[in-house]
Structure 1
Amino acid sequence: MTEAPQTLSVERVARTEWITFQRTDQLNAMSMQMLREMADALEAAIADDAIRAIVLTGSGRAFCAGADLKEVAGARHEPGESDLLDLVEHTFGLIRHGPKPVIAAVNGLAMAGGLEMVMSCDLVFAAESAQIGDAHSNFGVFPGAGGAAILPRRIGLNRAKYLLFSGENVSAREMMEWGLVNKVVADAQLRETVQAFADKLTDKSPAVLRRMKAVANRSMNVDEPAALAEEMLNLRAHMRSWDMREGLTAFNEKRKPQFRGY
């Protein structure tokens, strides 16, 4: 029998899986156990056809304050044993490359690895009071999950360098103006707003969302002709899908489509 997770909670609401970090006293800093439990929860949600969207959020006053630096400082690993960086790479990879949309519901502080986790998500909703930044330089730590490599692509080189070099936080609203956050809402309305949006996603074709996510992600690393060519290949494959046939049939019959995800 699988043990219940200790560092997070998992809750299904309609067709959305909510993964809530519960290391409140540590500002939801990522320990190795938390990363393992995150990976288990993500893999289970990805494998469950009843789940159409995934939400990551935190408890208390933080979304995630980054890696647990006390654990990092005291870590000792046997040769061949996975370390924290291996777990981060695997877990964040499930968020970035998994077939289902992942929403970050940023309830509070998101710093360093917490910011990198936010950047791994497909969409970002934030509470008005949330503060976001890259704190690696404050502790002499180098980022390893996108702080230096991906943040400049999201908010621009100069803004990224400011956050990286200064270690300062900025408001969620400023991050929305910079392009990282999709929507900022009142603190008390964050969960309700995210759930309402996730409900909209769960009515969409999972096959369409899966292909859109994959092509959009890869478009960042190829030139425009290559991106357009891949989009056309995916369209040709999708034209043979149940979901496209069902969507067009439902349109003609003036009813809500019943998508199956293939």
Structure 2
Amino acid sequence: MSILIDDRARVRTLTLDRPDALNAFDEALYDATTEALRDAAEDPSVAVVLLTGNGRAFSAGTDLREMHARTSDPNFQPGKHGFLGLIDALTEFPKPLIVAVNGLGLGIGTTIIGFADLAFMSTTAKLKCPFTGLGVAPEAASSFLLPTLIGRQNAAWVLMSSEWIRAEQAKEMGLVFQVCEPDDLLATARTHADTLAAKPISSLMAVKRTMTAPLRAEIAAARQRENAAFAELMGGPANIEALVAFAEGREPDFTSLPAGS
């Protein structure tokens, strides 16, 4: 199993469990997380979902070796749900979703916070949206959700710079609700989850539904724009240079690419 599932007092904890790969999302983990969210949404005994990672990472984002295979291997087999299925499940998830960022979070390991109702972060964790560093475009409606959550200039830096965001900076931006010492992270997140889980599930779902309803059309439009940009850039000169550099263990050099790449 690439995801651990634990139920306690109407809180379902989902733990990404590929620690040797820094919980990077391969197709199997995308599928497992999607199905776990869908199951929790439909389970009448679950009031709140708490999502975290096992080991020193929350998630290192999409598995770059699989990303490279997707662009270079004609026999590559995508999963049942994949990245887009996970984003569908997050967008549609009707119950409170709490994220506990226990370690580094790259790509979807950061943009998933846009779908969280509460996010907690370890003081030793750090976040990065490496899209420009990979020569690609934003994902997961982050081009809409992050400006909404943290303001346009903060979002521009997070999405354009491919720089690490430390915990205190994330808290100052409003990207996370609370920063905790590593040993306190899960307990603090769990305390908040328990507080919510003691409330009527119907009321929790009504609050979330009324809060997210105005965002749904904008999320769909952002995803459409992002997917088009991603499809245009993936496999292009900048993306190939980034992936080759990753495979060779060096920093990419985008300065020698043709103009506009």
TM-score band, normalised by shorter chain: 0.7 to 0.9
The answer on whether the counterparts of 1:11 and 1:17 sit within 8 Å (CA) in structure 2 is yes
Unaligned regions of 5+ residues in structure 1, if any? Answer: 1-5, 223-262
Give me the TM-score of the superposition, normalised by structure 1.
Answer: 0.76
Give runs of aligned pairs for residues 183-202 of structure 1, distance below 5 A.
183-202=178-197
Give the match for residue 54 of structure 2.
59
Between the two proteins, the alignment pairs up a number of residues equal to: 215
Partner of 1:143: 138
CA 1:77–1:53: 2 relative to 1, 3 Å: farther
Alignment of 1:138-177 (within 5 A): 138-177=133-172
- Measured in 1, the distance between the counterparts of 2:151 and 2:74 equals 37
Question: Counterpart in 2 of 1:206?
Answer: 201
Q: Give the aligned CA root-mean-square deviation in angstroms.
A: 2.1
Gaps of 5+ in 2: 218-261
Higher relative contact order (CA 8 A, sep 6+): 2
SS in 2 for 1:41: helix
SS at match of 1:218: helix
2: distance between equivalents of 1:35 and 1:220? 23
Q: TM-score, structure 2 length as denominator?
A: 0.76
Using the TM superposition, give the Cα deviation of residue 220 of structure 1 relative to its aligned residue in structure 2, in angstroms: 4.1
Shift in CA distance, 60/77, structure 1 to aligned 2, threshold 3 Å: same
Match of 2:231 in 1: none
Q: Does 1:111 align with 2:72?
A: no
Measured in 1, the distance between the counterparts of 2:189 and 2:32 equals 23
Counterpart residue number, 1:95: 90
Deviation at 1:221, TM superposition (A): 6.6
Q: 1:5-60, CA deviations, whole angstroms, 9 ceiling, x for partnerless residues?
A: x2111111221111111111211111110011111211221221111110110111
Distance 2:3 2:79 in 1: 20
Residues in 2 aligned to 1:103 and 1:206: alpha-carbon distance in whole angstroms: 15
Q: Distance in 2 between matches of 1:95 and 1:142?
A: 20
Going from structure 1 to structure 2, the CA distance change for 1:221 and 1:188 (only over 3 Å counts) comes to same
CA 1:130 to 1:221, structure 2 compared with 1: closer, same or farther past 3 Å? same
**CA–CA distance in 1 between the matches of 2:141 and 2:128?**
13
Report what 2:9 is aligned to.
Answer: 14
Bigger Rg, structure 1 or 2: 1
Matches within 5 A, 1:21-40: 21-40=16-35
The separation in 2 between residues aligned to 1:194 and 1:78, in whole angstroms, is: 42
